[in-house]
Amino acid sequence: MAETPLLLTPLALGPVTLPNRIVSSGHDTVMVDAGRVGDQLVAYHEARARGGAGMIVVQVGAVHPSARYTSHVLLADDDACIPGYARLAQAVRPHGTVLVGQLFHPGREVAESSDGAAPVALAPSAVPTERFRVMPRALRTREIDEIVAAYGAAAARLIAAGLDGVEVVASHGYLPAQFLNPHANVRTDAYGDGPAGRQRFLAQVLAAARAGAGPGAVVGLRLSLGEDDPGGLPEEDALAAARAIADAGLVDYLSVTTGTSATRRGAGHIVPDMTFPNAYLASAAGRLRAAVPVPVLVAGRINQPQEAERVLAAGQADACVMTRALICDPEMPRKVREGRGEEIRACVACNQACIGHFHAGYPISCIQHPETGRERRFGRLVPASPARRILVVGAGPAGLKAAAIAAARGHRVRVLEAASAPGGQVRLAGRLPGRDEFAGVIDNLLREARRAGAALETGQRVDAEVVEREGADAVIVATGARPYRPDLELRGDARVLSAWDVVESPDRVPAGAWAVIDTRGDWVGMGVARLLAAHGHRVSLATTGYAPGETLPQYVRDQQMVGLVRAQVRVVPLVRAFGADEDTLYLQHVLTDEPVLLEGLAGVVLAAGHEPVSDLLDDLLARGVPAVGIGDCLAPRSVEEAVLDGLVAGSEI
Ligand SMILES: Cc1cc2nc3c(=O)[nH]c(=O)nc-3n(C[C@H](O)[C@H](O)[C@H](O)COP(=O)(O)O)c2cc1C
Ligand code: SF4
């Protein structure tokens, strides 16, 4: 593809050569089978190799029994891991993709245990970590020796399994980064006490990994160039360590990221959401690249090939990590190569089904591409037999996905949408502060449906008579939802708006103080509160939870919270609304039932979720018309479930 000549150029990393500069960096998929590589993980990575990724770095592999940071970590600490890694290598390497495995020890960053009892966390020093509230024990020298040796043994296992190399994880505040960090490492022995002492552990680990991996293998290092945390690893210390390591010939490449697991703000960088600019770490990577003799890879919201090409052309990196770009569109590299760049489904950094699933303990997926994580069921489209005429009612995410899949299988698909534009609630959701990229979901789905041959007409209200007139062979109903209005006691001139009223016309909200009633704990309550504040209103956010956004993926919630705090929105936790009059909202504490009053208000806004619009579906089923309901018209949920419903319906019809 003419616009991305550099991205498609091979790159030598020590003894191996990547066919292009698109890298899937290590990411925990929550797909391991009892600590081992299983069928689903193999299918997941094979899909990305088939799609043309230049290099795949397999998720963190625990090198030692003390290296368990979740209950589902992949294990690399005994020989029983070899057959699983070998299956991965056999699946990935025939596609020409270089395959590397991460070597990992979390140190004090222990998020959970295998059975609910907190394990003993080990770290350079007994300095607690803020986010997981873990107080570790300082490692004894003998234990350090054992863990260093464990990195070497794990490296040997991965190479024996047929991988091309290993990558030591010293990023995000994990064990090697804790040794480098003067705030976390207060040792006075040979492993602390000055920069050289703090670098000793990492240097020994890399030497052990190199020795274990042997001469033909690539050895890389993942490093946070600064952790954006007052108690974290400073950028100058990270740079100095990277230079020392690279100058000593201990690594074949450096993979740059930022942030730390140790604090909420630092952790937001591990998987930056859509509030971070694209390629926001490129200049830091460029500083490192100018200072070291080995290739530099950079991560951080590089979601499109043009973005990656700009980074490469500016000389800021030698290759680009495009991890979520590949979670969202495994075929992306192939599309670039074949000049089909306009077909790429760009990741919108919503963090919902990738890292959001990780935090909830579920296997990875993507809201836009629910085939991800379900490769064995939906990996290949089954041609329609016979091809039929399908009517889809509603062009929100569910209807568009169903149309795209059914049409791609060969059905003749017509989509009728009542509104003047497709998109349903997604278009509105994209108008919430810090959420504008979200509307890209509809642009992507619309393109997919059109390219597959589905015909779309807007402004078409459909009832059962219209359906019968259309005479389609099958009907998919995706009529969505409308705002839910809870039963409130309203007196006098109580002014009540829905969240979508505010989003549609924020300028028309009367001046004064407003209270948002948030029963969902999702994006809408927080977003509407911020939108009102941005339009000059004093805002209170009354939520049934301990804090707003309780149902959101952590890194998204934290970014939204930054906006809420800066906008000086007052949060009233643990309350439900039961009534309002012209200037007061009457709330009730959810635990004590005691009244809580918010006075002096101009009005209240309901962020109380939705109810299904299922009239058409009910009517068709009552008439015996074979119709399938999908998305919010079945039960209001999120875009993730809508698109998945669309995939299932489009695949099965
Ligand atoms: C679900 C998920 C799990 C992750 N787990 C890891 C991991 O095991 N090791 C690691 O170094 N980074 C991990 N990351 C961070 C990614 O490697 C990458 O740095 C991040 O997604 C930012 O790159 P991107 O903007 O291209 O997605 C994870 C990311 C995601 C989405
Ligand atoms: S779920 Fe959202 S952030 Fe994750 S890969 Fe898909 S589009 Fe990107």
Residue 89 domain-assigned (yes or no): yes
Residue 417 is part of a domain; what is its CATH number?
Answer: 3.40.50.720
CB atoms within 10 A of CB 233: 33
Residue 2 domain-assigned (yes or no): no
Give me ligand 2 centre to Cα 271, in Å: 10
Give me ligand 2 centre to Cα 1, in Å: 25
Residue 336 domain-assigned (yes or no): yes
Ligand with smallest separation from the Cα of 365: 2
Q: Report pLDDT for 2.
A: 52
Q: Report pLDDT for 4.
A: 79
Residues 210 and 127 in one domain: yes
Structural domain containing residue 273: 11-377
The two tokens of residue 403 are: 């149309």
Q: Report pLDDT for 418.
A: 96
Residue 3 domain-assigned (yes or no): no
Q: Report pLDDT for 358.
A: 96
Query: Does residue 302 register a pLDDT over 90?
Result: yes
Q: Report pLDDT for 641.
A: 98
Q: How many CA within 13 A on the CB side of residue 615? A: 8
End-of-domain residue from the set 326, 357, 377? 377
Give me ligand 2 centre to Cα 301, in Å: 11
Give the C-alpha separation, 218 to 323, whole Å: 20
Residue 404 domain-assigned (yes or no): yes
Residues 146 and 87 in one domain: yes
Query: Does residue 14 register a pLDDT over 60?
Result: yes
517 lines ligand 1 (CB under 6 A): no
Give me ligand 1 centre to Cα 30, in Å: 12
Scan for tokens 């191996």, then name that residue.
Answer: 16
On whether the CB atoms of residues 590 and 544 are closer than 8 A, the answer is: yes
- Dump pLDDT digits (tens) for 469-517: 999 999 999 999 999 999 999 999 999 999 999 999 999 999 999 999 9
Query: Does residue 620 register a pLDDT over 70?
Result: yes
Percent share of the chain, pLDDT over 70: 100
The two tokens of residue 409 are: 């299988």
On whether the CB atoms of residues 31 and 373 are closer than 8 A, the answer is: yes
Query: Does residue 74 register a pLDDT over 90?
Result: yes
Residues 93 and 184 in one domain: yes
Residues 321 and 394 in one domain: no
The two tokens of residue 8 are: 């498609």
Q: Which atom of ligand 2 is nearest to the CA of 348?
A: 7
The two tokens of residue 147 are: 């863990």
The two tokens of residue 643 are: 């698109």
Residues 100 and 196 in one domain: yes
372 lines ligand 1 (CB under 6 A): no
DSSP assigned state of 63: -
pTM above 0.95, yes or no: yes
- Dump pLDDT digits (tens) for 388-409: 999 999 999 999 999 999 999 9
State the pLDDT confidence band at 216, using cuts at 50, 70 and 90: very high
Residues 564 and 634 in one domain: no
Residues 105 and 181 in one domain: yes
Give the C-alpha separation, 320 to 298, whole Å: 5
Residue 50 domain-assigned (yes or no): yes
The C-alpha angle 620, 623, 629, rounded to 5 degrees, equals: 25
| Residue among 44, 270, 354, 555 to mutate when testing ligand 2 (max atoms within 8 A of CB) | 354
Give me ligand 1 centre to Cα 593, in Å: 43
Residues 128 and 231 in one domain: yes
Q: Report pLDDT for 1.
A: 45
Q: Please give the tally of structural domains in the chain.
A: 3
| Residue among 48, 347, 442, 639 to mutate when testing ligand 2 (max atoms within 8 A of CB) | 347
End-of-domain residue from the set 353, 377, 401? 377
Residues 332 and 401 in one domain: no
Computed over every residue of the chain, the mean pLDDT equals 96
Residue 6 domain-assigned (yes or no): no
- Dump pLDDT digits (tens) for 569-583: 999 999 999 999 999
Give the C-alpha separation, 583 to 489, whole Å: 14
Give me ligand 2 centre to Cα 374, in Å: 15
Q: Report pLDDT for 597.
A: 98
End-of-domain residue from the set 573, 590, 608? 608
Q: Report pLDDT for 612.
A: 97
Mean pLDDT, range 18-24, rounded to an integer? 98
- Which range is least confidently modeled, 104-118, 206-220, 222-236, 578-592? 104-118
Give the C-alpha separation, 216 to 208, whole Å: 15
Mean pLDDT, range 239-262, rounded to an integer? 97
CA 297 to chain CA mean position, Å? 20
Query: Does residue 630 register a pLDDT over 50?
Result: yes
- Dump pLDDT digits (tens) for 174-209: 999 999 999 999 999 999 989 999 999 999 999 999
Q: Is 499 exposed, middle or buried (0-12, 13-18, 19+ CB in 10 A)?
A: buried
Residue 202 is part of a domain; what is its CATH number?
Answer: 3.20.20.70
Q: Which atom of ligand 2 is nearest to the CA of 274?
A: 3
Residues 137 and 225 in one domain: yes
Query: Does residue 3 register a pLDDT over 80?
Result: no
Query: Does residue 113 register a pLDDT over 90?
Result: no
Give the C-alpha separation, 532 to 512, whole Å: 10
Residue 1 domain-assigned (yes or no): no
Residue 545 is part of a domain; what is its CATH number?
Answer: 3.50.50.60
397 lines ligand 1 (CB under 6 A): no
Secondary structure (DSSP) of 479-499: --EEE-----EE-TT--EEEH
- Which range is least confidently modeled, 9-13, 70-74, 307-311, 644-648? 70-74
Residues 302 and 212 in one domain: yes
Residues 285 and 421 in one domain: no
